Structure 1
């Protein structure tokens, strides 16, 4: 008589439930944590699920939950939040805000909700835009301008891949332009690589933002403790932020210059250092540099404005004149061009 034969359970009776449970767990994982069988697009077809998934630092299921919020009367005015959700232990929902709006042409250099231009990577050629620390924007073609230039803006988790964010925003911009009937002759092409954003450093003796002789935007002697973030001069756009004091920017990027000129309020301004300029005010202007329109902007910080009136603190017009004269030389500007 076989030992224990009366208590043995047939293999088929326990294998089937285990297999069924495994299939159920796998199916739940695929459905809850991945985008297998998910929609290819979200936000009303403006956002590719695959492109959005590439932006998030961790994998998750992509959705738009409530969907896009459109601005009446403007096909390029919308907001949509893209979510990445997962039920894996230790995971948390993350979101990406995609925003279509209209802005003054020099929006990227005027502060507000925009990161300092010294801390982002600008790109142009196939598409005009910038990305840095989880925020980016794309300028739509001039044919999309209506009262103001149109942009696509993105706010992502700070650990996001900047190249993936630039690729996503370019794709959204192409789709939005087609939907609005203002796309160019060919789709905009996202950059394959981005320039490295600079790191903060101490202001060196005798130079500011790497420019010899540039007037310090603060009280006399304050440059000894100041720190700056300055981009390398390798493209059509350059910027430098002197922490708490001032942010300087200059660009010859054609699409940005066209957007600036197409914005309301753009007009001739008083001449700094004898130059003929147009712009929005005396510190956001465009002048001619060796036949090329060149934009200069200077934003002042609290450390500078609180020092105004104290001995050794230069006035704003002196700062701006020093900026245009010295940085302008890099862009072919001659001093005091009438």
Structure 2
């Protein structure tokens, strides 16, 4: 009996170190590869750890490394990089960069190389206004957050393969926290979209209905051959079409975007567009009245058009834009201008 008790005691003593190592291993795993026992928020409280973790295509521990960088003169101007890291074999470190800035109100439709082509973006509006495309997204803050240098947005870059809907939700959440901190959410919190429209696939151009608009002229010379276009299906509140290499068209009646455009520096009266009074930033980025609804039209030109601009049969820039406003306006139900 005594010998049996000795063996049991010896077995327990041998098992104790094994259990201790196991506990340490589990604790190390939870600490290094998950968010258990970690903070609920990073980036100075602007980013929810759970919301950020949902964006990353693989699991890991979320941190903000260098933390939040804020410009003292503007609480809605900031940057922060969120990192998801894991020590599991084969795991990569992922990064989501979030920032707040002020932009010209029609920034999603301008070709400065920073923004995704609007024809490939999934736009959303209602509870929140924004778009996601190519692992890059933005959310517009309310009008009350605008200043003399333009409306405020929250922008985010995510790793390839991230869930675009989760990115939209994260950016909406960050916009709410940033807006609350700045004291400009008097109308209540923004709400993230429940779903996103799918981005369209490229297709051959129909010469009789470029971008699906019957009668719209091709933005280039007659011998175009083989051109492709990417066309969004929904007309309202935001629509865009890209004729690859030649031109990108966009229209929006989204009230928050229109308000941001009108409040931006440089927005002023422009020459008449398709016979309509217009205001904007230049003759190809304007807001006109469409049956009582302020409507923004824009057209950006690609390298293929610029290379052929002097070739016979290539329409002039303003003729193309006037044609676009007339044809697209008719589809939107705009009345013919009388003055």
Question: TM-score normalized by structure 2?
Answer: 0.95
Change (3 A) 1:158 1:234: farther
Paired position in structure 2 for 1:41? 41
Q: Could you list the runs of 5+ residues in structure 2 that have no partner in the other structure?
A: 1-6
2:55 touches 2:163 (CA, 8 Å); kept in 1? Answer: yes
1:304 aligns to what SS in structure 2?
helix
How large is the Cα RMSD of the aligned pairs? 1.5
Structure 1 residue 234: deviation in Å?
Answer: 4.8
1:15 counterpart = 2:15: yes
1:198 to 192, 197, 200: 200
Paired with 1:186 and 1:337, the residues of 2 have a C-alpha distance of 41
Paired position in structure 2 for 1:3? none
Report Cα offsets for 1:198-229 as digits up to 9, x if no partner: 1111212422111122111112120x311111
Give 1:287-326 correspondences, 5 Å limit.
Answer: 287-326=288-327
Paired position in structure 2 for 1:329? 330
Paired position in structure 2 for 1:255? 256
1:133 touches 1:159 (CA, 8 Å); kept in 2? Answer: no
Paired position in structure 1 for 2:3? none
1:243 counterpart = 2:244: yes
Paired with 2:194 and 2:186, the residues of 1 have a C-alpha distance of 21
Paired position in structure 2 for 1:135? 136
Structure 1 residue 41: deviation in Å?
Answer: 0.4
Structure 1 residue 309: deviation in Å?
Answer: 0.5
2:329 aligns to what SS in structure 1?
helix
Paired with 1:154 and 1:181, the residues of 2 have a C-alpha distance of 22
Structure 1 residue 335: deviation in Å?
Answer: 4.1
Paired position in structure 2 for 1:4? none
Structure 1 residue 321: deviation in Å?
Answer: 1.2
Structure 1 residue 13: deviation in Å?
Answer: 3.4
Report Cα offsets for 1:79-111 as digits up to 9, x if no partner: 000000011111111100001000011001002
Report Cα offsets for 1:136-187 as digits up to 9, x if no partner: 1111011111111000001111211111111111110010011011113211
Paired position in structure 2 for 1:81? 81
1:77 aligns to what SS in structure 2?
strand
Paired with 1:234 and 1:33, the residues of 2 have a C-alpha distance of 45
1:28 counterpart = 2:28: yes
Structure 1 residue 8: deviation in Å?
Answer: 11
